[in-house]
C-alpha cells in the first residue's frame, strides 16, 4: 500500500511539469497522403533566434521519426507560433493568528506568495495542406519553461514539447 501511495505522489509531481497537449484535425482528410513537409514560408515563431533554431531542430528530428522528409515539393506546410505567459507558482507561506475562550474562537489566516512567477510557453503547431491552402491538423502544447536554463536543457524542453505535439499525429479516427 505504501508503494502505491509513493507512485501516486510521484505521478502527480511528474505530471505537473510535463507539457500538456490538445489536438484538432479535419476529419475528412486522409493523413497517409502527407509524406513531405516544408516549414511555412512566412514562419515567425515568436521565439528568440537561438530558441527558434532549437525548436526547428527538434521538429526536424521528430518529423523524420514520423516518416516525413523535408523537401521542395512538400505536401504540407508546418507552422509553429508561440505565446509566452506567466502564471502564479502557487507556493505560499501560511500565516495565521487565532484566539478564543468561553466557547468562542476567532482566527485569521492568509498566504504570502513565495518565489517568482512561473514562465509558460504555449506553442501551436499547424499542418497546412499546400494544395488546398487549408489547415488540416493542429496541436496546442502548454509547458512550463525555465528561461534561465542552459542551452542543453532548453533543447531538451523543446524536444519534449515537439514529442508531445506529434504524439497526436496522425489522428486516430
Q: How far apart are CA 162 and CA 141, in angstroms?
A: 8
Give yes or no for a contact between 143 and 160, defined as CB atoms under 8 angstroms apart.
Answer: yes
Query: Residue with C-alpha cell 509553429?
Result: 80
Kindly report the CATH number that applies to the domain delimited by 18-84+125-140+151-166.
Answer: 3.30.160.670
Other residues' Cβ atoms within 10 Å of the Cβ of residue 84? 13
| Sequence spans of domains, the chain | 18-84+125-140+151-166
pLDDT of 14 over the 50 cut: no
pLDDT computed for residue 10 by the predictor: 44
- State the average pLDDT over residues 108-113: 64
Please report how many Cα atoms fall inside a 13 Å half-sphere around the Cα of residue 14, on the Cβ side: 6
pLDDT computed for residue 18 by the predictor: 77
pLDDT of 8 over the 70 cut: no
pLDDT, tens digit, 9 for 90 and up, residues 49-88: 999 999 999 999 999 999 999 988 999 999 999 998 877 6
- Among 15, 19, 29, 46, smallest CA distance to 166 is for 19
- State the average pLDDT over residues 82-95: 71
pLDDT, tens digit, 9 for 90 and up, residues 129-156: 999 999 999 999 999 988 899 999 999 9
Query: Residue with C-alpha cell 512561473?
Result: 118
More confident residue, 109 or 126: 126
pLDDT of 89 over the 70 cut: no
pLDDT computed for residue 5 by the predictor: 47
Amino acid at each position: 500500500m505504501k508503494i502505491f501511495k509513493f507512485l501516486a505522489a510521484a505521478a502527480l509531481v511528474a505530471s505537473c511539469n510535463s507539457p500538456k497537449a490538445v489536438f484538432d484535425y479535419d476529419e475528412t482528410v486522409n493523413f497517409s497522403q502527407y509524406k513531405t513537409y516544408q516549414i511555412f514560408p512566412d514562419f515567425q515563431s515568436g521565439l528568440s533566434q537561438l530558441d527558434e533554431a532549437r525548436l526547428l531542430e527538434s521538429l526536424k528530428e521528430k518529423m523524420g521519426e514520423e516518416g516525413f522528409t523535408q523537401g521542395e515539393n512538400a505536401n504540407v506546410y508546418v507552422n509553429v507560433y508561440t505565446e509566452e505567459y506567466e502564471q502564479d507558482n502557487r507556493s505560499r507561506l501560511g500565516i495565521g493568528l487565532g484566539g478564543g475562550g468561553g466557547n468562542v474562537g476567532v482566527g485569521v489566516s492568509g498566504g504570502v506568495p513565495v518565489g517568482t512567477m512561473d514562465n509558460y510557453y504555449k506553442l501551436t503547431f499547424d499542418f497546412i495542406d499546400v494544395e488546398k491552402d487549408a489547415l488540416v491538423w493542429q496541436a496546442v502544447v502548454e509547458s512550463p519553461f525555465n528561461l534561465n536554463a542552459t542551452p542543453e536543457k532548453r533543447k531538451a524542453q523543446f524536444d519534449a514539447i515537439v514529442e508531445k505535439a506529434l504524439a497526436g499525429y496522425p489522428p486516430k479516427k
